[in-house]
Amino acid sequence: MIIDKFIVHMLDINLDKPMLADFIGKDYSDVDKFLKKLITKCQKHDETMRAKWKYAEEFIQDCCKNIFEDENIFTNASKQIAAHYYDLMKNNNILEPVTLVICQYTVNATQNIAIMRLENKKTYSTTVDLIEDKFNINIIENKKTISTALKQCALIHEDNLMSLYDLVILDKESSEESIFKDFLKAEIIRDDTYKTRVFIDIAQMYIDVGFKKMDKKEAAIKTLECMLDTTSNMDINKFIDLSGIDADIKKTLEKYDIYDSFNIDKKVVEKEFKVRSIKTDTGFVIKNKFNAFRDSSKYRIVNNPDGTTDLLIKNIQYFKEG
């Protein structure tokens, strides 16, 4: 990956107008690493989804297309993109200031554009200079902060007739509060990867709230993992029968275009069920590889007469602190 150029805009509806930069960012090595880290994080994040443009011609799509055709208009096109986001912020009364980074980068000789909204956390600092009545804004990574705070991100690639999608989207804002999909005018592709992720999230939510007895919850979790692991197609009616989960889950799944069955994306399953973490109301956290929870010689659930549950970690020969 090569970072070709980037620009930073600061958007705050409490000000009279957005601070739209007229200069591209300075090419410092630490900023280069920071931007690559953000883009890679978006590419690999569990919640990243593939999408297609909703319409043949749309504002953000058109701005990106113009940049791909003439990189000399990068600054002006990025200002148009940022101004469009600012207008949506005003229309939706979003008071939290936004740092919007627009980056042009190259991967395997293919041009790409990243539109990234950074969270208002000190994983980075901004410097603002006024040069002849024009803003010059740069970002500097705060090296003392471990994680990078990426709230929303879209990665757009050049038009390619062979491509199955136009962009990938990461949106960590709640669906009720987010303006990002409206900003992009893009539609999530509800493929097997998407359906597998959504099904696992919703099934786990129903299991968490639907079972009062811990052994029933444990059995439902194991049924979920077993069916996802041993079959290529998820039969939702069969899962409901075997797990005892509330049948209302079907109505929830239908909102995401998941009906009676779907093909399982094994890569998603492998990642989701690699490690299991249990948090108790008494403040304990038990974490291990999922296989360890299957072994009754190491782990077992016991229901007590008073309605509480004991989680037994068995046959320990030694333990250490920290």
Same domain membership, residue 90 and residue 7: yes
List, as one string, the DSSP characters of 235-286.
EHHHHHHHH---TTHHHHHHTTT--SEEE--HHHHHHHTSEEEEE-TTS-EE
Is residue 259 assigned to a domain?
yes
Instruction: Supply the pLDDT for residue 163.
Output: 67
Find where tokens 């304990």 sit: 284
Same domain membership, residue 207 and residue 144: no
Last residue of a domain, one of 138, 153, 188: 188
Is residue 320 assigned to a domain?
no
Is residue 17 assigned to a domain?
yes
Count of domains forming the chain = 2
Same domain membership, residue 154 and residue 21: yes
Last residue of a domain, one of 188, 219, 253: 188
Same domain membership, residue 305 and residue 270: yes
DSSP 289: E
Distance of alpha carbon 183 from alpha carbon 173, whole angstroms = 13
Same domain membership, residue 201 and residue 89: no
C-alpha closest to that of 157 among 83, 105, 117: 105
Instruction: Supply the pLDDT for residue 57.
Output: 66
Instruction: Supply the pLDDT for residue 115.
Output: 93
Q: Which amino acid is at 252?
A: T
List Cβ neighbours of 235 (8 Å cut-off, separation of 6 or more). 227, 260, 261
CA 95 to chain centroid: 22
Last residue of a domain, one of 188, 206, 225: 188
Per-residue tens of pLDDT for the chain, all 322 residues: 888 889 989 888 888 888 888 888 877 777 888 888 888 888 888 778 888 888 766 788 888 888 988 888 899 999 999 999 998 888 888 778 888 899 999 888 888 999 998 875 555 666 677 777 777 777 766 654 434 577 889 999 887 655 678 888 888 877 666 788 888 888 888 888 889 988 998 999 999 888 888 888 888 998 998 899 899 999 999 999 999 999 999 999 988 889 889 999 988 888 888 888 888 888 888 888 887 888 888 888 888 888 888 888 888 888 887 6
Same domain membership, residue 179 and residue 61: yes
Is residue 24 assigned to a domain?
yes
Same domain membership, residue 171 and residue 123: yes
Same domain membership, residue 214 and residue 180: no
* Joined tokens for residue 18: 């957005």
Is residue 322 assigned to a domain?
no
Is residue 319 assigned to a domain?
no
Domain that holds residue 267: 192-313
Is residue 318 assigned to a domain?
no
- Say what angle helices 236-243 and 214-230 make with each other, to 10 degrees: 150
Answer whether 39's CB lies under 8 Å from 103's CB: yes
Same domain membership, residue 178 and residue 67: yes
Q: What is the pTM of this model?
A: 0.68
Distance of alpha carbon 55 from alpha carbon 36, whole angstroms = 30
List Cβ neighbours of 26 (8 Å cut-off, separation of 6 or more). 138
Same domain membership, residue 168 and residue 263: no
C-alpha closest to that of 82 among 141, 10, 152: 10
Is residue 211 assigned to a domain?
yes
Instruction: Supply the pLDDT for residue 145.
Output: 45
List Cβ neighbours of 123 (8 Å cut-off, separation of 6 or more). 141, 142, 145, 147, 148, 149
Same domain membership, residue 281 and residue 182: no
Same domain membership, residue 172 and residue 59: yes
